[in-house]
A and B are shown apart, each in its own frame.
Chain A
């Protein structure tokens, strides 16, 4: 335990991650490979690739965990790992839902009028 830079994350239920760089590298490559399967002109693919590549570059260039946390500016590194896992599950679900297609159905004309 004394090898870790911190003993605890301070957050309930989140253990300190051993080797976060490796975990993040794996997760980001998985996300990018899932994104390859969706059409290239989809806005989701464009923006998510942008975010993931930006974070991936930061992870690869910065080896110190504290400095990486500051640069990412997104809470603890364990929270960044959880967020990457969420993004991966979201990307897999997006492949099935295909939200980049045009609108499913127009609402009735008075549906969103307010005041009535």
Chain B
């Protein structure tokens, strides 16, 4: 069976995406709605804190809950890491995805000042990908072993690692 297309929700998400893009043209590079009705905002990395604060505090967009913070590694790009924030609005029962980009050496602003939940997620992204978060209260390894060298989730890290255990 195929999921039925929900045109109403698609239109609402498109309208909301245009609304946010009109309010924040300084940081939003692109807005897209997937065929599964998921709204995505593609941001310049300088605009993380303004966009996340706007989405959390504005009356029409009360995305108070940070559901997930991950990174995607695409080594062929100039800015290889794509940081993804998934937000949930409890008031309006709707989700939104905010994506930014960075490379191995450029730090990105920490979202901890906006959402406390981002603390361990950012530690995980640092540990697994090597993306440095500026102004993070406590950025250290969280999943790898204590003396571990390397960032395992990068695409150029081999499956069984460099050290024999």
Contact = CB atoms under 8 A, between A and B. Distances in A.
Interface of A: 43-44, 47-48, 51, 74-75, 83, 86-87, 89-90, 93-94, 97-108, 110-112, 116
Contacts of B62: 83
A90 B54 contact: yes
Nearest to B44: A104
Given A47-B23, A99-B47, A112-B29, 11 more contacts: A44-B23, A86-B57, A90-B54, A90-B57, A94-B54, A99-B50, A105-B44, A105-B46, A107-B101, A108-B78, A111-B79
A110 B77 contact: yes
A103 B91 contact: no
Interface in B35-79: 42, 44, 46-47, 50, 53-54, 56-60, 62, 74, 76-79
A102 B26 CA distance: 5
Interface of B: 19, 22-30, 42, 44, 46-47, 50, 53-54, 56-60, 62, 74, 76-79, 91, 101
A94 B141 CA distance: 34
A39 B23 CA distance: 13
Given A47-B60, A83-B62, A90-B54, A106 B29 contact: yes
A87 B59 contact: yes
Given A74-B91, A99-B27, A107-B44, A51 B59 contact: yes
Contact of A103 (B25, B53, B59): B25
Contacts of B77: 108, 110-111, 116
Contacts of A116: 74, 76-77
Contact of B47 (A44, A47, A75, A104): A104
14 contacts: A43-B22, A48-B58, A86-B57, A87-B58, A90-B54, A98-B26, A99-B50, A102-B26, A103-B27, A104-B47, A107-B79, A110-B77, A111-B77, A116-B77
A75 B46 CA distance: 34
A89 B57 contact: yes
B10 to A, nearest CB: 19
A99 B25 contact: yes
B41 to A, nearest CB: 11
